[in-house]
Amino acid sequence: MKIGSVNIEVPVFLAPMAGITDYPFRILCKEMGAGAVYSEFVSADGIIRENTKTLDLICFEETERPIGIQIFGNDGETMSQAAKYVVDRFRPDILDINYGCPVPKVTKKGGGSAALQDLCLMDDITVAVVESVPEVPVTVKMRAGWNHETIVIPEVGERLQNIGVKAIALHPRTSKQRYTGKADWSYIKILKESVSIPVIGNGDVCTIDDMMRMFDETGCDAVMVARAAQGNPWFFREAKARLEGQLIPSPPSLLDIANMCIRHFDLLLENRGERTGTNLMRKHFSNYIKGFPGASIFRQKLVTAPGLAEMRIALNEFIDTAKTAELKPAF
């Protein structure tokens, strides 16, 4: 598929996730076959103020391409300046506007999915961003509406397409639902039938079978994966094989999981430093280490380890067990 002039070989994307899709996690998913990856969403205000922590979230390596940088804000002028800054300094393949985040600390300030309550504001922001970066395709990630009484699909799709947006990723829950209830995939199908630009489906894709069902039921051009990839970058390897009609790889062994934990941890320490890296890795350990006998014991040790040394000891214990388990089919 193509988004603007950007060629994407595998139509399975890693969704932007706050606190998750930093460089270490993105690169692991990319190596496993993700067709495109996205940064965490970053504040337009932080970008134009050149806040160091904000700009660190935008940095990426060439091997991650094609990559999208996602920004959010509540007014056209700030978003325009931020978009131009990101494109001029970082040169991403895609610039994505967040109209989907339902978290109150974002929506109360008019960012994220709050724009779904004021489509004229959404138009103003989108026009400002599209016009400020004509050389880069602008995409949008959004929800179906603010609540069930104000569903904006398919009206918004047509408006965004006419403005110049090159693709739309739809999470078909409302903002008020946040992450509860069921994602209504019928809205993805409605959106796809109302526009000619690519539509990317997102929401409740937990397995490869879910992914295939979303393609079949909605006609979407690509699927964007979020929680299913946490602790499981192998999802993209299996997805790629399934779409290409190849033999599905075997699930990761316990030793594969242990080695991935080491790789991820080392990347985090190198990229974010000891203090931040160890803190961020705790949630990743929780995601990786589950579903086998004794998992809770190893997970508890790693998540509660007070520092780097103790975490390394617990991780080495897990690795030793994983090596032994390679000889035991019980795992």
Which tens digit of pLDDT belongs to each residue from 269-323? 999 999 999 999 999 999 999 988 889 999 999 999 999 999 999 999 999 999 9
One of 29, 59, 101, 206 is an active-site residue; which one? 101
Q: What's 197's domain CATH number?
A: 3.20.20.70
Residue 26 CA: distances (Å) to CA of 197, 225, 296:
25, 12, 26
> Is the domain of 215 the same as that of 119?
yes
Whether the CB-CB separation of 107 and 114 falls below 8 Å is answered with yes
> Is the domain of 31 the same as that of 89?
yes
Q: Which of 218, 243, 268 is the last residue of a domain?
A: 243
Q: Report the distance separating Cα 238 and Cα 34, nearest Å.
A: 10
Q: Count of residues for the chain?
A: 331
> Is the domain of 232 the same as that of 265?
no
> Is the domain of 196 the same as that of 273?
no
pLDDT of residue 133 exceeding 50: yes
pLDDT average, residue stretch 106-126: 93
Q: Report the distance separating Cα 99 and Cα 101, nearest Å.
A: 6
235 within some domain: yes
Q: What's 297's domain CATH number?
A: 1.10.1200
Report the pLDDT value the prediction gives residue 293, as an integer from 0 to 100: 87
> Is the domain of 30 the same as that of 79?
yes
Report the pLDDT value the prediction gives residue 193, as an integer from 0 to 100: 97
Q: Report the distance separating Cα 239 and Cα 207, nearest Å.
A: 9
> Is the domain of 282 the same as that of 194?
no
| Tens digits of residue pLDDT in 28-56 | 999 999 999 999 999 999 999 999 999 99
Whether the CB-CB separation of 20 and 45 falls below 8 Å is answered with no
Collect all residues with Cβ–Cβ distance below 8 Å to 230 and sequence separation of at least 6: 17, 20, 284, 287
| Tens digits of residue pLDDT in 176-204 | 998 899 999 999 999 999 999 999 999 99
249 within some domain: no
57 within some domain: yes
248 within some domain: no
> Is the domain of 90 the same as that of 41?
yes
Q: How many independent structural domains does the chain possess?
A: 2
Confidence of residue 326 (pLDDT cuts 50, 70, 90): low
| Tens digits of residue pLDDT in 60-104 | 999 999 999 999 999 999 999 999 999 999 999 999 999 999 998
> Is the domain of 316 the same as that of 168?
no
Residue 19: how many CB atoms within 10 A of its CB?
9
Confidence of residue 325 (pLDDT cuts 50, 70, 90): confident
pLDDT of residue 151 exceeding 50: yes
Output the CA torsion 85→88→91→96 (10° steps).
40
pLDDT of residue 330 exceeding 90: no
Whether the CB-CB separation of 108 and 157 falls below 8 Å is answered with no
Q: Which of 210, 243, 276 is the last residue of a domain?
A: 243
The answer to whether 59 is a known catalytic residue is no
Q: Report the distance separating Cα 30 and Cα 91, nearest Å.
A: 18
Residue 196: strand pairing partners: none
Q: Which domain holds residue 301?
A: 254-325
39 within some domain: yes
> Is the domain of 174 the same as that of 313?
no
Confidence of residue 324 (pLDDT cuts 50, 70, 90): confident
pLDDT of residue 123 exceeding 50: yes
pTM above 0.85, yes or no: yes
> Is the domain of 138 the same as that of 260?
no
Residue 116: strand pairing partners: none
Report the pLDDT value the prediction gives residue 210, as an integer from 0 to 100: 98
pLDDT of residue 327 exceeding 90: no
15 within some domain: yes
Q: Sign of the CA dihedral 43, 282, 321, 293?
A: negative
Q: Which of 185, 214, 243 is the last residue of a domain?
A: 243
Whether the CB-CB separation of 233 and 256 falls below 8 Å is answered with no
> Is the domain of 177 the same as that of 65?
yes
pLDDT of residue 329 exceeding 50: no
- The enclosing H or E element of 101 equals none
- What does the mean pLDDT of the chain come to? 95
Collect all residues with Cβ–Cβ distance below 8 Å to 299 and sequence separation of at least 6: 285, 286, 289, 290
pLDDT average, residue stretch 256-266: 96
> Is the domain of 285 the same as that of 202?
no
Q: Report the distance separating Cα 221 and Cα 167, nearest Å.
A: 10
Residue 58 CA: distances (Å) to CA of 31, 38, 68, 226, 253:
19, 10, 10, 19, 33
Tokens describing residue 222: 């690509």
120 within some domain: yes
189 within some domain: yes
